[in-house]
């Protein structure tokens, strides 16, 4: 018997249906120590007892030959009534030919009359009760009670069983209801449950005519294993039509469908649906599509990004990141003069090799990890400025990036001042570049931060000026010390009249504000000459030098200090 029930002193209830008094008493005596026994002297009485409290009974011992209502009739009623069909029935008979018919009619077992072996009867009762209780537990875990679809655990187990016998192509499909939690909050959980049931019933209807199974994987997510098709949009449209027909308080429903086409049978089923869900999740917020196919290239890209995220801390600690320095030259005199440098980060991964900044910087900006890189660059740059000061007895100011994430750091000002103190620098030696994205996120906070930093003597450079709509707004509210002209203007200035006019406009703005302009991305002498004629003061780009590690940058410092060196 069940140990939990025994441990609380409980007994299962058995209904004995037997018309002969002596047989009822014999059975009661056999069972009384282990079970709570209720007796009925005919089938009609038994049915009345069961209908009053069916859920309390664990087993029925049923005689076949009885007056008023026979055992066969009771068995038929029990099998047709959902409230009684889960109670196992052991038929009691002395007619061997009735045994097979009773089993076919739904009986779980039979006991031969007369009742001469109590231990056999007890053993059979215990076995049947145990089997049916385990079956109930399995059924409750197998089927989602709300939708009637499989639960996820059984869904994947059935797929494994199915794949032993199938060679045909199959698709893994993930169907998700967009913003379902809002439907529950606005219209109530009852409406939400009705929608889930409607979607589930439509999925079942679609599967009636095809090969496939489905489960409710999460609150609003359904998994479908389906024979290959190209018509899933039509399936989604049929589901939405059904939902719209039922109105559901005018709730607006949008389905997203991710498909992993022709799954790889040599990988685990869970992975098929992970991939389909990636495709489905990629549709969030995209109202131009409702269906997307899994693309292994996109997945590989996601894995690559996950690897970069995982390795950022160890790479900072191991100095896999390196700061390069791109020189900035003043061009107002007869020959260019080295004025300062911009710190640019490079990543040589121990296993993946050189990683493009275009890969990791936008990634880290999107998740806030760029702040770790910024602090690393600030430290490296401040240390390098101090080294050059000591070695060459001159200051090479270095510009470092202050990202939009840094702007929200309440300790930003203190961090920068601590760096200056640590390396014996002034605030004019560590220059700060700020892009307009910081202004777009929080203009009020940026204004406050910039004003505080300028009061400490820091010079603020507006990076990529003109690249976005906020640039002019920034100029009206934030005092800056340098404009950095967007390199796209420079690269196209000799080919495109609009770009040339924009360069001239930036120069006009700089003269109005009385601040210098740094032109980025200068690669040709013709560009240099044209910018110089416009009044541009500082140039940065491959025409002079690509970004260099600190030791190679020193060659530029030494070359400028050497009187025999040729002019640039």
Q: Which residues contact 268 (CB under 8 A, 6 or more apart)?
A: none
pTM above 0.85, yes or no: no
Identify the H or E element spanning 6: helix 3-7
Please state, in angstroms and rounded to a whole number, the distance separating the CA atoms of residues 46 and 431. 92
Range in 170-174, 317-321, 398-402, 420-424 with the lowest mean pLDDT:
170-174
Question: Is the pLDDT at 2 greater than 50, yes or no?
Answer: no
Question: What is the model's pLDDT at position 213?
Answer: 86
Digit-coded pLDDT (tens) for 246-276: 655 556 778 888 888 888 878 888 999 999 9
Question: What is the model's pLDDT at position 381?
Answer: 97
| Per-residue confidence band for 8, with pLDDT thresholds at 50, 70 and 90 | very low
Question: Is the pLDDT at 512 greater than 60, yes or no?
Answer: yes
Digit-coded pLDDT (tens) for 403-450: 988 988 999 999 999 999 999 999 999 999 987 666 666 778 888 999
Range in 68-82, 120-134, 460-474 with the lowest mean pLDDT:
460-474
Q: What are phi and psi of 25, to 5 degrees?
A: -65, -40
Is residue 5 reached through a cis peptide bond, with omega within 30 degrees of 0 on the bond before it?
Answer: no
Give percent of the chain with pLDDT exceeding 90.
32
Q: What is the dihedral of CA 362, 367, 368, 374, to 10 degrees?
A: -30
Q: Which residues contact 330 (CB under 8 A, 6 or more apart)?
A: 336, 337, 338, 339, 537, 538
Contact 177, 194 (CB under 8 A): no
Digit-coded pLDDT (tens) for 339-379: 999 999 999 999 999 999 999 998 998 888 999 999 999 99
Question: What is the model's pLDDT at position 354?
Answer: 94
Please state, in angstroms and rounded to a whole number, the distance separating the CA atoms of residues 475 and 81. 79
Higher pLDDT, 187 or 563: 187
Angle between helices 497-513 and 525-534 (to 10 degrees): 40
Burial classification of residue 295, based on how many CB atoms lie within 10 Å of its CB (0-12 exposed, 13-18 middle, 19 or more buried): middle
**Angle, CA of 396, 401 and 404, to the nearest 5°:** 160
Question: Is the pLDDT at 57 greater than 80, yes or no?
Answer: yes
Question: Is the pLDDT at 165 greater than 60, yes or no?
Answer: no
Say which DSSP state 381 is in. H
Nearest CA-CA partner of 374 in 396, 408, 343: 343
Question: Is the pLDDT at 210 greater than 80, yes or no?
Answer: no
Q: What is the pairing mode between strands 212-218 and 170-177?
A: unpaired
Question: What is the model's pLDDT at position 344?
Answer: 96
Say which DSSP state 566 is in. P
**Angle, CA of 6, 138 and 2, to the nearest 5°:** 10
- Helix ranges (H only) for 143-188 are 152-162, 180-187
Question: What is the model's pLDDT at position 9?
Answer: 44
pLDDT, average across residues 71-80: 84
The helix/strand/coil state of 330 is strand
The helix/strand/coil state of 42 is coil
Sign of the Cα torsion 89, 90, 92, 98 reads positive
Digit-coded pLDDT (tens) for 20-33: 888 888 888 888 88
Question: What is the model's pLDDT at position 170?
Answer: 85
Digit-coded pLDDT (tens) for 100-140: 777 777 787 888 777 767 888 888 888 888 888 777 766 66
Which domains are seen in the chain, by residue range? 3-142 (3.40.50.2300), 152-294 (3.30.70.270), 310-560 (3.20.20.450)
Digit-coded pLDDT (tens) for 275-288: 999 888 888 877 77
């Amino acid at each position: 018997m069940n140990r939990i029930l025994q441990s609380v002193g409980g007994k299962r209830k058995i209904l004995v249906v037997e018309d002969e008094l002596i047989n009822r008493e014999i059975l009661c005596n056999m069972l009384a120590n282990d079970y709570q026994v209720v007796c009925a002297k005919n089938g009609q009485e038994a049915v009345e007892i069961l209908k009053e409290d069916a859920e309390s009974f664990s087993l029925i011992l049923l005689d076949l030959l009885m007056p008023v209502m026979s055992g066969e009739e009771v068995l038929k009623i029990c099998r047709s009534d959902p409230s009684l069909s889960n109670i196992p029935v052991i038929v009691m008979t002395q007619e061997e030919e009735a045994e097979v018919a009773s089993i076919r009619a739904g009986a779980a077992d039979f006991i031969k009359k007369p009742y001469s072996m109590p231990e056999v009867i007890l053993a059979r009762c215990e076995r049947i009760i145990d089997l049916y209780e385990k079956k109930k537990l399995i059924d409750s875990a197998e089927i989602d009670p709300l939708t009637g679809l499989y639960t996820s655990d059984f869904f994947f187990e059935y797929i494994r069983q199915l794949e032993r016998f199938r060679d045909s192509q199959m698709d893994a499909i993930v169907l998700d209801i967009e913003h379902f939690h809002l439907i529950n909050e606005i219209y109530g959980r009852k409406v939400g449950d009705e929608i889930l049931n409607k979607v589930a019933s439509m999925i079942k209807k679609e599967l009636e005519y095809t090969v496939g199974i489905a489960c409710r994987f999460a609150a609003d997510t359904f998994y479908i294993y389906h024979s290959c098709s190209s018509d899933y949009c039509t399936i989604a449209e049929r589901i939405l039509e059904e939902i719209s027909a039922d109105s559901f308080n005018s709730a607006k429903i949008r389905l997203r469908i991710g498909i992993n086409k022709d799954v790889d049978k040599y990988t685990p089923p869970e992975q098929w649906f992970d991939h389909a869900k990636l495709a489905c999740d990629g549709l969030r917020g995209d109202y131009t599509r409702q269906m997307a196919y899994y693309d292994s290239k996109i997945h590989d890209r996601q894995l690559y990004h996950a690897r970069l995220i995982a390795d950022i801390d160890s790479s900072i600690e191991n100095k896999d990141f390196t700061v390069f320095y791109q020189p900035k030259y003043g061009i107002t005199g007869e020959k260019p003069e080295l004025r300062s440098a911009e710190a640019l980060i490079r990543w040589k991964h121990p296993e993946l090799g050189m990683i493009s900044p275009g890969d990791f910087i936008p990634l880290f900006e999107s998740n806030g990890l760029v702040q770790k890189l910024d602090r690393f660059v600030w430290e490296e740059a401040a240390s390098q400025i101090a080294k050059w000061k000591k070695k060459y007895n001159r200051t090479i100011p270095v510009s470092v990036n202050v990202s939009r994430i840094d702007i929200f750091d309440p300790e930003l000002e203190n961090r920068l001042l601590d760096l200056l103190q640590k390396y014996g620098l002034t605030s004019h030696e560590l220059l700060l570049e700020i892009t307009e994205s910081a202004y777009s996120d929080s203009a009020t906070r940026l204004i406050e931060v910039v004003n505080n930093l300028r009061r400490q003597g820091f010079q603020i450079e507006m990076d990529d000026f003109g690249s976005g709509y906020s640039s002019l707004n920034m100029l009206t509210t934030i005092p800056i010390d340098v404009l950095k002209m967007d390199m796209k203007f420079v690269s196209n200035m000799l080919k495109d009249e609009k770009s040339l006019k924009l360069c001239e406009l930036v120069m006009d703005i700089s003269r109005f504000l009385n601040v210098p302009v740094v032109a980025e991305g200068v690669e040709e002498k013709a560009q240099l000459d044209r910018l110089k004629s416009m009044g541009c003061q500082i140039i940065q780009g491959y025409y002079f030098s690509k970004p260099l590690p600190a030791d190679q940058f020193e060659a530029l410092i030494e070359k400028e200090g050497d009187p025999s060196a040729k002019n640039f």
